[in-house]
Amino acid sequence: MTDLVLTEKNNQVLTVRINRLDRKNALTHAMYTALGDALEDAHADGDIRCVLFTGSDDCFTAGNDLSDFAQGLPGSFEETPVGRFLFLLATATKPVVAAVNGPAVGIGTTMLLHCDMVFAGNNTRFQMPFANLGLCPEGGSSLLLPSWIGRVRAAELLMLGGAFTADDAYRLGIINRVCEPEATEATALESCHKLAAQAPAAIRVTKELLNRPTLEQLKDTMLAEGKLFGERLKSREAAEAFKAFMEKRKPDFSKFD
C-alpha cells in the first residue's frame, strides 16, 4: 500500500486517508490501486463494519493527476485501477462514509454518489469539470445525478463544470451535513461508530435494498462512461485542455467541431 493512501482500523471502522497534500491529493493509478485494495480488505475483514474516506481539513482531492492520465487508461476500464476502485465502491456491501473538506474535484465529487453518508466542511468546493477538460462524466454520475437532483441541474453541473459549495450540495441532497472543517472528520466518524454498533447483517441488507433498483443500470452506465472516458483522454480536445492546464491558461476549443 502506497504511503499516499493511509489506512487505520479502529473500533470496527476502517479509515482510508488520501495523503498527498503537496499535490492537493491528486490521484494516480497507484493511489487508485491502494484505494481499491482498502475496499477489498474491508470486505474480507469480518471485524470491519464501516469504511470512512477522508483527506485533510484543507483538501479531499483535486481529482486525477493529469500527468498520470494524459497517456490514457491502461486496458479496459473495469480492469484499470480507477475502474476497479469505482466498481468496488459501487458494489461495497458494508456502509461507506466520507468526510470532505476543501477541493473535491472530479472523482472527488462523483465517488461521493456511492457513499451512504457524506459530511462536508463549509470550505468544500465541489466540481465536476469533465467537459472543461475535453472529457466526459465518470463514476456513474450521468445516471445518478439526474435521478437525484433532476436533469437540468445535473446538465448544468456536468456540462458547464462550475464549482459549487457545501451549502449547495446540501440543498441538492448530495451531502448529509455541513460542518466546520476541523469538525468534519469527527462528525463523520461519529456516524461510522453508530453504523458499526448497528446489527451488521441488517445494515448490509438495507444497503443492498437501497442500491438494488439501479445497480445493474449503474454497472452498465459506468462501463459506457469508462469506455468513452478512455477515448476522450486520447482526444485532441483533451490534449488542448491538458496543455492549457499546464500552461495555466484557458483552453481554446474554437478550432474543434
Name all domains of the chain by residue range, CATH numbers in brackets: 5-179 (3.90.226.10)
Q: Does residue 1 register a pLDDT over 80?
A: no
In sequence order, the 6+-apart residues with CB closer than 8 A to the CB of 16 are 5, 6, 7, 35, 38, 51, 52, 53, 54
Give exposure, 151-161, as e/b (b: 16+ Cβ within 10 Å).
eeebeebbeeb
pLDDT of residue 101: 98
pLDDT of residue 45: 98
| % of the chain beyond a pLDDT of 70 | 100
Determine the angle formed by the axes of helices 29-44 and 81-90, rounding to 10 degrees.
30
Label the pairing between strands 50-54 and 96-100: parallel
Give me the residue label for grid cell 483538501. Answer: 59
pLDDT of residue 244: 96
Provide the sign of the torsion angle of the four alpha carbons 198, 199, 204, 210, taken in this order.
negative
Q: Are 15 and 8 in contact (CB under 8 A)?
A: yes
Q: Are 124 and 169 in contact (CB under 8 A)?
A: yes
Q: Summarize pLDDT for 108-164 with one digit per residue, the tens.
A: 999 999 999 999 999 999 999 999 999 999 999 999 999 999 999 999 999 999 999
Q: Summarize pLDDT for 6-65 with one digit per residue, the tens.
A: 999 999 999 999 999 999 999 999 999 999 999 999 999 999 999 999 999 999 999 999
pLDDT of residue 74: 78
pLDDT of residue 2: 73
Confidence of residue 76 (pLDDT cuts 50, 70, 90): confident
Phi, psi (degrees; rounded to nearest 5) at 120: -130, 140
Q: Does residue 182 register a pLDDT over 90?
A: yes
